[in-house]
Amino acid sequence: MKKFCIELKDDFFTIKNTKLFKLGLILISFIFPLLVEKFYYVDESFSIIRYVIFTLILLFLSFNLIFDIKKMWDFIYRKRYLIGISLFVVVVLGGFHGSSISIFNDIIEPGSNVSSSETIIGRTREIRSDEWDISSLMVLSQLTPLNELSPINKTMMGGIGSNVELFPKLPTKSLSVLLSPRCLGFLFLPEDNAFSFYWFFEYFLLFFASFEFLMLVTKKKKLLSLVGTIAIVFSAAVQWWEFTNILAYGMLAIVFFDKFLNSNSYLKKIIFSLLIGYCGVLYIMSLYPAWMVPFGYFFLGIVIWQLIDNKGKYKWKDFLLLVPIVLITIASMLIPTILNASEVIELMSNTAYPGGRFSTGAEDLEKLFYYPASFVLPFVNSTNASETAQFLSLYPLTLIMGLYYFIKNRKKGKKDSLIPILMIVIVFLSIWNYVEIPDFLAKITLLYMSKPARTVTAVGFTSCILMIVIIANYSRKIEDKKTVIKDLLLALIVLIPVLYFVKKYCSFISIPLLLVIAVLYFIIFYLFIRNDIKAKKILCIIIVLVSLCSGVLVHPLSRTVNAVYDKPIAKEIQSIVKKDPDGLWVSEFIQTANYVHANGAKTLNSTNYYPNFSLWKKIDPKGKYEKRWNRYSTLSVNIIEDKTNIKLVAADHLALNLNSDDMCKINIDYLFTPSDDRDELSNDKVEIKEIYSKENMYIYKINCN
């Protein structure tokens, strides 16, 4: 059998080097995408862009067989930044993005389809409403004639004048734009290209930051660093949650810190100190403590490892240079923005949500084991894919194998502080899920700001890094069948509780799919335990394939944001706003409130990032419902004949059931709604007059008597 395999391998390499084989691969690269267009996208018109993308992907894969693979990848490594920047430029110039914003093609006037904003590859994700219905539309609202990238958004929450330099952090023509580099494109690019820049900047940055970071922990093993980079960037956690900034700027700071420690030039040390400080600013400006705190423990652990690993290469007096520069950089960039947004900060800190959150842990331990289900999320209907999405962590097997190699190192007298440090971080953060801790300890550790459901993501990330470190830096020699049986048994023992949690809590996993997951992860666990040369190669291939399945198709690939601006009703909103810029709008359909806002209208129920006191003092003058409305919220408004009332639908969702007469109390001028009968609510106090109707959307003019 072994002889047959060797002969087969030799025959393959003989065929591989023939001109006919190479020509065949190139032809397949051009023909196969045509077949995909004809037989897979059968209900869609031919897309030249999609065809070119698939062809380029297949050509790249073919080049691995056509050219000398070592020379090809050495070239890619040497020119990686040039290639990355060139690809980023092409993507931005093409106006590509991964937003699900084209979902408005289906929600609003579906018969008036905006073809220039259709999805090219993949599908829109309704579950990602935080992206397509909030953050993306808020960004676009800054481009409207009344705002024009002003630090004060004049149309948000009915035009109360909201500072958007901090929370929300939107593109502005001010120095605060430096606190969110992804917004820089809006200063010099047309809106479609600027949105593309905004969408992809941090993904490209995360890719290179991850690679350079992993080059440190893998001791410059390029292939393993690339495998780890793919596992991070295309992880379900990153793609469904999009916390690219925390990871990218955290890892960049570590890379610069390593260069600081290893530099003998004071000028370079000053430059690296400034860069570390700037990364610190950008990390803080993620403004999401639920992830900042647990990931902060990971990065703290890495800093400690670097200090130990680089001992003798730096002097302690170097930190007299580093610390002041970092602190001054952070203070000089944050203080002006904080002062400008002091009112927003005060309002947010006094809200019931998120300002009033306090956690003591002991929740969601099952989410530590969700990772096997992550790679199927793009292909199944899950009620909340984001909550299931995790890194490929192999938890708790990484802890078991980490302990194995730690003991082995101690016996051999080998010094490697990275494994125990990563294990300590994993165990420390895992405790937050397993055990409820006292309030004072939650405050001291700052973990009270992070729900266990978010901390599990940091545990998964740290475990993923530990997995890559073990594969890269350690090997085992399997010499007898007894060891193989022990390894298989360990893989099975770890797999059983993992499958239990997946089956119990991931309701979208069918029995056949569970069997597929069981077989796949039994193989992954065994290969990771075995960890010899052959096992590493197979495991790396599986990690790449599973990661790509987990993340590549989460977001659609689309072009332009025309689905927001080019619908007939969008044109009507723009026309009305041009004539009546001070008119106050309300959307009765919660998914379109920010859509109206993005088209330039002063929209009362655009996302309320903090309480709109001018509204609530009119609706609830005695503050009877303050605990309900004193929060960040998406605000749904329903016009009714009964008495006005306020309901808390969810922690971040408020429903205002507004009596038609009370529209005059808060000076509403226009009503945007999917209902065709709102004129029937007219009475002697208020006239509700239809001024636009098409398909499923209507606009009414409110006249108060």
DSSP 88-123: HHHHHHTTEE---GGGHHHHS-TTS--GGG-EEES-
**Exposed/middle/buried for 552, CB within 10 Å: 0-12, 13-18, 19+?**
middle
- Mean of the per-residue pLDDT values for the chain? 91
Token pair for 443: 């405050």
Q: For the residues 609-616, what does the mean pLDDT come to?
A: 87
In a domain, 1, yes or no: no
Lowest-confidence region among 116-130, 564-578, 585-599: 116-130
Residue type, 212: E
Q: Of the residues 519, 535, 553, which one is the last residue of a structural domain?
A: 553
Domain count for the chain: 3
Q: Please say if the pLDDT value at position 535 is more than 70.
A: yes
| pLDDT above 90: residue 65 | no
- Do residue 56 and residue 73 come from a single domain? no
| Residue 192 is assigned to a structural domain of this protein | no
Instruction: Please indicate, yes or no, whether residues 529 and 576 belong to a single structural domain of this protein.
Output: no
Residues 474 and 405 sit within 8 Å (Cβ to Cβ): yes
- Written as one string, the DSSP assignment of 225-284 is HHHHHHHHHT-HHHHHH--HHHHHHHHHHHHHHHHHHH---HHHHHHHHHHHHHHHHHHH
Give the pLDDT band of residue 245 (cuts 50, 70, 90): very high
Instruction: Give a yes or no: residue 683 inside a domain.
Output: yes
> Sheet containing 119-121: which strands, arranged edge to edge?
96-97, 557-559, 119-121
Task: Assess whether pLDDT exceeds 80 at residue 9.
Answer: no
Q: 504, 530, 553: which is the final residue of a domain? A: 553
Read off the tokens for 613: 């006191």
Q: Which of 205, 208, 207, 213 is nearest to 418 (CA)?
A: 213
Instruction: Please tell me whether residues 547 and 591 are part of one structural domain.
Output: no
Whether residues 307 and 400 share a domain: the answer is yes
pLDDT tens string 340-356: 877 777 777 777 777 76
539 with 569, same domain: the answer is no
Q: Confidence class of residue 182 from pLDDT cuts 50, 70 and 90?
A: very high
- When pLDDT is cut at 50, 70 and 90, the band that residue 1 belongs to is low
The confidence score (pLDDT) of residue 43 equals 84
What is d(CA 160, CA 36) in angstroms, rounded to the nearest whole number? 51
pLDDT tens-digit map of 428-440: 999 988 888 888 8
Q: With respect to residue 184, please indicate whether it lies within any of the assigned structural domains.
A: no
Q: What is the largest CA-CA distance in the chain?
A: 95
Q: Is residue 558 part of a domain?
A: no
Answer with the one of 553, 578, 598 that is the final residue of a domain. Answer: 553
Residue 33 sits in the same domain as residue 119: no
* Position 484 in a domain: yes
Residues 6+ apart with CB under 8 A from 428: 297
Q: Are 80 and 58 found together in one domain?
A: no
Inside any domain, residue 239: yes
- For residue 251, is pLDDT > 70? yes
Pair (353, 423) in one structural domain: yes
- The winner for highest mean pLDDT among 166-170, 357-361, 366-370, 398-402 is 398-402
Residue 215 has pLDDT above 60, yes or no: yes
Percent of residues, the chain, with pLDDT higher than 70: 97
Q: Is the pLDDT of residue 5 over 70?
A: no
Boundaries of domain holding 102: 98-178+563-705
Nearby residues of 535 by Cβ (< 8 Å), 6 or more positions away:
526, 527, 528
**The pair of three-digit structure tokens given for residue 283, joined into one six-digit string:** 């990390």
Same domain, 389 and 484: yes
SS3 368: helix
Q: Please check whether residue 185 lies inside any domain of the structure.
A: no
Supply the pLDDT for residue 630: 87
pLDDT attached to residue 517: 95
Answer whether 549's CB lies under 8 Å from 510's CB.
Answer: no
pLDDT of 6: 57
Q: What angle do CA 308, 314, 319 make, to 5 degrees?
A: 95
Could you read off the pLDDT of 89-143 as tens digits, one per residue? 999 999 999 999 999 999 999 888 888 788 999 999 988 989 999 999 999 999 9
Q: For the residues 471-486, what does the mean pLDDT come to?
A: 89
pLDDT given at position 141? 95
pLDDT above 90 for 331: yes
Q: Are residues 125 and 76 in the same domain?
A: no
262 and 308 belong to one structural domain: yes
Give me the percent of the chain exceeding a pLDDT of 90: 66
- Check pLDDT > 60 for residue 657: yes
Give the residue-averaged pLDDT of 627-642.
89
Average pLDDT over residues 357-370: 85
Judged against a pLDDT cut of 90, whether residue 684 lies above it is answered with no
With residue 635 as reference, give the H or E element that holds it: strand 634-640
600: left (phi over 0), alpha (psi -120 to 50) or beta: left
85 and 233 within one domain: yes
Measured between alpha carbons, how far is 342 from 336 in angstroms, rounded to an integer? 10
Q: How far apart, in whole angstroms, are the C-alpha atoms of residue 366 and residue 264?
A: 48
